[in-house]
Amino acid sequence: MRGTQRGFTLLEVLLVISLLGVLLVLVAGALLGANRAVLKAERYTVNLDEVRAAQAFLRSSIAQALPLDTSGEDDVNSGFFEGSAQQLRFVATLPGELGGGIQVHSLELKGPQEHRSLQVSFAQVLSSADGIALKPWGEPQVLLQNVESLTFSYRGLTPKGKPTGWMAEWPWPNR
For the segment 43-66, what is each residue's pLDDT rounded down to a tens digit?
Answer: 999 999 999 999 998 998 888 888
CB distance 58 to 119 below 8 Å: no
Residue 77 has pLDDT above 70, yes or no: no
Distance between CA atoms of 107 and 32, rounded to whole angstroms? 41
Q: Does the pTM of the predicted model rise above 0.85?
A: no
**Dihedral of the CA atoms 114, 50, 138, 106 (nearest 10)?**
70
Please tell me whether residues 49 and 70 are part of one structural domain: no
Give the end-to-end CA distance of the chain in Å, rounded to a whole number.
110
Return the pLDDT at 18: 96
What ranges in the chain are assigned the alpha helix state H?
10-63
Residue 149 has pLDDT above 70, yes or no: yes
Please tell me whether residues 125 and 96 are part of one structural domain: yes
Q: Where does the pLDDT of residue 112 fall: very low under 50, low under 70, confident under 90, or very high at 90 and above?
A: confident
Range of the domain at 54: 9-63
Please tell me whether residues 21 and 88 are part of one structural domain: no
- Indicate whether 2 belongs to any domain: no
- What is the tally of structural domains in the chain? 2
Please tell me whether residues 106 and 47 are part of one structural domain: no
Return the pLDDT at 72: 55
What number of CA atoms fall less than 13 Å from residue 47's CA on the CB side?
Answer: 9
Please tell me whether residues 125 and 143 are part of one structural domain: yes
